[in-house]
Structure 1
Amino acid sequence: MSTSNFDTLTSFLKTRFHDQAEYLQATSEVLSDIIPIYSANERYKHYDIARRLCLPERIIYFTVTWMNSAGEVEVNQGWRVQHNSVMGPYKGGLRFHPSVSLSVLKFLAFEQTFKNALTGLPMGGGKGGADFNPKGRNERDIMLFCQAYMRELQRHIGEQTDVPAGDINVGAREIGYLYGEYRRLNNRFEGVLTGKGLEFGGSHIRTEATGFGLVYFLDAVCTAQNTTVEGKKVTISGAGNVALHAALKCVHMGARVLTLSNSRGFLYCEHGYSENDINWAIEHASQYDNILTALKEHSQHPMNWYSNEKPWGIKGDIALPCATQNELLEEDAQHLLAHGCQMVLEGANMPCDQDAQAVFSQNNITFVPGKAANAGGVALSGLEMAQNAVFSQDDRDVLDNKLRSIMQNIHQRCLEEGQTDSNTNYARGANIAAFKRLAEAMVAQGV
């Protein structure tokens, strides 16, 4: 690595954004892999590509002032980080959660740029959201907030400019409210949001895509290592859309899924969740305050609930962290190592911190970062954009096959750039493969 270039860039970022820990973590991880490529290419250095890739092209901040169903005025903060558009319209989700901050959104938009480049589809990278917490709110309040948020956001998005999607706490219901307000304000029916309902421009497989895509990538990793998903014991964190659909696809492929989790603990099923268990959780997730404890009571299979604990102490072959950023720490990685884990694939965005990643690297545990492993969601969003552009709707089988093909292609790109004499460094491969595509496009378009 060119230490001087790495140190110069990371120092530049730390000086200006010292209070943005998540953003600094994400950029440092990528820079450590791409700086040797950058330093060896005079065109990249001439156009200052590495620095430009780290900095968002535009950050939009706005206040969301709205009146709730009780007639009370509330004030929230909203953002849209339009990170890089060299590959196409900004593309990335909206997150409604009290933990949303500029640092979190900048890291997500940065990661999204690289993730989208890996798909091979014409999409740039962006991310947005608000510090609004929909938990415990009635449906009318959620609708009123979505409409107020869109009244500000609609000035900055469009099908050829920026196409948001859903993320944490922004599902099909919220996308419907957001899209309805956009359509009323702009008098246009266009593919300006993805994750829409099937009745108004949505796509089959979109809900399942991130979780299914994660397991399709896992299947490609297993094939490359001369093994199969079938028969493997899998531990999963999270109990949302990604975790549940990843669990479902694992079961379809013959794996034994042992855990699901949330912020209050994890649910362990020694013999593995059944397909009926997972489908019940998917169908009833919004009806219970804790879908996992409800599943324990509903299921005919014995399950154990562990309050305030993580699932990484359970013996398994494969770990799929699907909850949130920096959920899996060094001590968790040591637990996985001690219990025989062979592979870790990120279903969430940056769920494994740098110390955990170091444990995986030092002990030859295969690690695949989220920008590669969880790209299925945005890949399907790209396919939804294509369907909207020609006013068509492909069927489930066609889209599922396209999703699998895209995930296999991403895996191949990671192999090509991350292969060493002894193994494959998927994180390095993903970072370099995406960087090369972005850098070449930036050089070609000048400044």
Structure 2
Amino acid sequence: MLKCVQEVVHSLEPVLVKNTQYIHILERLLEPERAIIFRVPWVDDRGETHVNRGFRVQFSQALGPCRGGLRFHPLMTLSIAKFLGFEQALKNALSPYKLGGAGGGSDFDPKGKSEAEIMRFCQSFMDELHKYLGPDQDLPAEDLGVGPREMGYLFGQYKRLTGHFQGSFTGPKIFWSGYSLRTEATGYGLVFFARLILAEMNKELKGLRCIVSGAGKLAMHVLEKLLSCGAIPITISDSKGYLLDEDGFDYVKISLLRDIKVQQRSLRDYVKSNPRAKYFEDAKPWSEQCDIAFPCASQNEIDQPDAIALVNSGCRLLIEGSNMPCTSQAIDILRKSKVLVAPAKAASAGGVAVGELELSNECNLMQWSAEDFEAKLQDMMKQTYERSLKTASEYGYLKDNPEALVHGGNICAFLNLAHAMIDQGCV
């Protein structure tokens, strides 16, 4: 949380110098509207009782009802929930839509649990959280450890407790759980954002080597869209190591990767069907020769040595998929080496478009085609990109400054929130 705040405050220096009243707005904004902590008791298949902690931080509703993910991971804490909520509030404020930001989850680990155990945990989790949810207050989305299965169980209990189909949760499959392309939106948006940056350089994605970290929904959809754009994605990774396929992944190979992940097998199994590929134990992909990097695993996954490896690998553009994937030291290395970093607040905002669609009555009455949705998503990413650059220019950051997108995005998001908070008074 501290690192995130420091970056934003650094970006806001020229704003605060011009208008000192924003200092008080910033002080208010840095304190979440509410932070909810609760216990989640559940019973495993052996009849033994366990207790986990649940968190939901509704950081800001100044612009509208909250949207933000739920994360189930053993390292989840209140501090991480605050960080996720703050980042989401700024991400949503930077988008063209009127949404607030929230984050949360639990220190429950779904790995190794049976379907019945996960269902019982999700039901217990929702027993408490449902009091703070609703279409005009807060509706959760997927994050690490929370996918279609978990969202289904969560929504089922929410519906059971509230008694009606109130609002929608953001997940795939059927109408109650949100738009059918929700999981694709963030990954596709990352690739669309990369295309916008490359277009400014009179370049295109076709033929460029791309390294991707992570092996979850986000990383898989990035691979899929990179492939459709003619790029050559060559890596994915998990907590144990990374997989390299110098020939690049194709649709058949991506299907195999999905099967491996669904069956909770090791990425090493991919090599059995593709002997030219290599799996590197206890390693990260950042030293592989590439043009663009897409970190899509977790925060702080790229440290100072990784950043040096990226620079030496020829990387000139880094598109943040996960929230703040680079440590402060890594960012310093990348900027000094003229590697352009596209911040997650802007680049990974694709899912926000789905949140806006879900809140509109129109979305509940019609099914958008994939082509219609992609067109809307591309337009949304373009608006986010252009308003970030425009704001950066207004505050003295030139377009070729590697920090322009970061500072412009932070300033634009803050000003949108600040204006709303001023208009609404001290509430």
Alignment check: 8 A CA contact 1:55 1:83 kept = yes
Query: Does the alignment pair 1:303 with 2:277?
Result: yes
Q: How does 1:145-184 map to 2 (within 5 A)?
A: 145-184=121-160
Residues 395, 201 of structure 1: alpha-carbon distance in 2 compared, 3 angstrom cutoff: farther
Query: Does the alignment pair 1:26 with 2:4?
Result: yes
Per the alignment, residue 329 of structure 2 pairs with 355
In structure 1, distance between residues paired with 2:410 and 2:86: 12
Alignment check: 8 A CA contact 1:204 1:395 kept = no
Residues 415, 422 of structure 1: alpha-carbon distance in 2 compared, 3 angstrom cutoff: closer
Per the alignment, residue 431 of structure 1 pairs with 410
Alignment check: 8 A CA contact 1:115 1:434 kept = yes
Once the two structures are TM-superposed, the CA of residue 248 in structure 1 deviates from its matched residue by 1.1
Once the two structures are TM-superposed, the CA of residue 159 in structure 1 deviates from its matched residue by 0.7
- 2:98 counterpart letter in structure 1: P
Gaps (5+ residues) in structure 1?
Answer: 1-22
Gaps (5+ residues) in structure 2?
Answer: none
Alignment check: 8 A CA contact 2:32 2:58 kept = yes
Alignment check: 8 A CA contact 1:241 1:282 kept = no
In structure 1, distance between residues paired with 2:104 and 2:356: 17
Per the alignment, residue 440 of structure 1 pairs with 419
In structure 1, distance between residues paired with 2:356 and 2:30: 23
Match of 2:371 among 375, 397, 401: 397
Once the two structures are TM-superposed, the CA of residue 283 in structure 1 deviates from its matched residue by 4.5
Q: How does 1:289-328 map to 2 (within 5 A)?
A: 289-290=265-266, 292-299=267-274, 302-328=276-302
Q: Which string of whole-angstrom CA distances, capped at 9 and with x for unpartnered residues, describes residues 210-239 of structure 1?
A: 111100000111011111111111111111
In structure 2, distance between residues paired with 1:258 and 1:396: 26
In structure 2, distance between residues paired with 1:203 and 1:393: 9
Alignment check: 8 A CA contact 1:327 1:352 kept = yes
Query: Does the alignment pair 1:58 with 2:37?
Result: no
Q: How does 1:38-437 map to 2 (within 5 A)?
A: 38-45=16-23, 48-290=24-266, 292-299=267-274, 302-386=276-360, 390-419=364-393, 420-421=397-398, 423-424=400-401, 425-437=404-416
Residues 393, 347 of structure 1: alpha-carbon distance in 2 compared, 3 angstrom cutoff: same
In structure 2, distance between residues paired with 1:321 and 1:144: 33
In structure 1, distance between residues paired with 2:352 and 2:31: 21
Once the two structures are TM-superposed, the CA of residue 190 in structure 1 deviates from its matched residue by 2.1
Alignment check: 8 A CA contact 1:195 1:381 kept = no
Percent of residue pairs bearing the same amino acid type: 40
- 1:211 counterpart letter in structure 2: G
Q: Which string of whole-angstrom CA distances, capped at 9 and with x for unpartnered residues, describes residues 315-338 of structure 1?
A: 111011100000001111111111
Alignment check: 8 A CA contact 2:358 2:364 kept = no
Residues 106, 201 of structure 1: alpha-carbon distance in 2 compared, 3 angstrom cutoff: closer
* TM-score, normalised via structure 2 length: 0.95
- Number of residues of Structure 1 aligned to a counterpart in Structure 2: 421
* TM-score, normalised via structure 1 length: 0.91
